[in-house]
Amino acid sequence: MTKTPSSTRRIFGILLFAIGALSSTLLTGGLTWAGVEAALYGFPRYTDERFDGLSCPLLMTRSETAFVRVAVNNPSDRVITPFMTIDISAPGLPDTEEVQVTVPAGQSRQLTWSLSSDNIDRRYFIFVKANRSASYPMPTAETICGTLVLDAPFLPAPVPQVQVNGMQILLIWLALCVVCTPLGLWLWRSSLDPPNKMPGIIKALAITTLGSLIFSLGGVWMMGMLSLPVIILMAVGLLRR
């Protein structure tokens, strides 16, 4: 029997939706895993005050060198001179460096450290902790972050002699998530007669997978961790239908 255009569109829509939802879930899981591992890594804790100037790469390949950036902001009306202590993971003891920074009132200063394969620990991660010492009127504050490290021998270099890096992989991965999910949902829905026959769980799954990805990209890995069981339950419920 020849397939109708509607059934072909439905199959193509389901396939695209599945690719998008699976890509979103895997990326959310990877970024969440890095955040959870960073929290459990064993860096010493000195305060509950959060430092908001730490920026780590979300994704790296094992062969590349990337950078972690620390922005020391001073919203007060006084000059501050805090010590910034940076701990970066390593297979043995973490690498530690301490730098004193002078930041005029209302300004900021940025510090940069390189990350490489020498900093990989627990096979797939690099962890960083930043601690800002107290400097009146700014209190002691600290934070941590985790970077997911992948091998990418299956991806050809876009230019000869140029390595594929984590940012390129992340952009391709994100494109699969944000293009395939809504496009597949639209094709799937448009193949139904009437379109409103689509079960609400499908739309809920699309919203949850993309929403959890946004939280994970923003470093809110706790929300990503909470959303993963929900995604799995909805996916199982959808397959049972």
Percent of the chain with pLDDT over 90: 70
pLDDT score at 1: 47
Which residues pair with residue 127 across a beta bridge?
A: 146
**Rg of the chain on CA atoms, in Å:** 22
Residues 111-133, mean pLDDT to the nearest whole number? 95
Residues 113-141, mean pLDDT to the nearest whole number? 95
Options 2.60.40.10, 2.40.50.140, 1.10.10.60, 3.40.250.10; CATH of 43-150: 2.60.40.10
How confident is the model over 35-93, as pLDDT tens digits? 999 999 989 898 999 999 999 999 999 989 999 999 999 999 999 999 999 999 999 88
Contacts of 219 (CB under 8 A, 6+ apart): 35, 145
User: Judging by beta carbons within 10 Å of its beta carbon (0-12, 13-18, 19+), is residue 125 exposed, middle or buried?
Assistant: buried
Which residue has 């627990």 as its token pair?
A: 122
How confident is the model over 165-192, as pLDDT tens digits? 899 999 999 999 999 999 999 998 888 8
Report yes or no: 140 and 133 within 8 Å, Cβ to Cβ: yes
End-to-end C-alpha distance for the chain, whole angstroms: 25
How confident is the model over 90-105, as pLDDT tens digits? 998 899 999 999 999 9
What does pTM read for this prediction? 0.87
The region that residue 42 occupies, defined by phi over 0 for left and psi between -120 and 50 for alpha, beta otherwise, is: left
| Rounded Cα gap, residues 39 and 87, in angstroms | 13
Q: Chain-centre distance of CA 94, in angstroms?
A: 22
Report yes or no: 69 and 110 within 8 Å, Cβ to Cβ: yes
Cα distances (Å, whole numbers) of residue 232 to 213, 225, 227, 235 = 14, 12, 9, 5
DSSP letter, residue 155: S
The number of C-alpha atoms within 13 Å of 171 and in the hemisphere containing its C-beta is: 5
The number of C-alpha atoms within 13 Å of 188 and in the hemisphere containing its C-beta is: 20
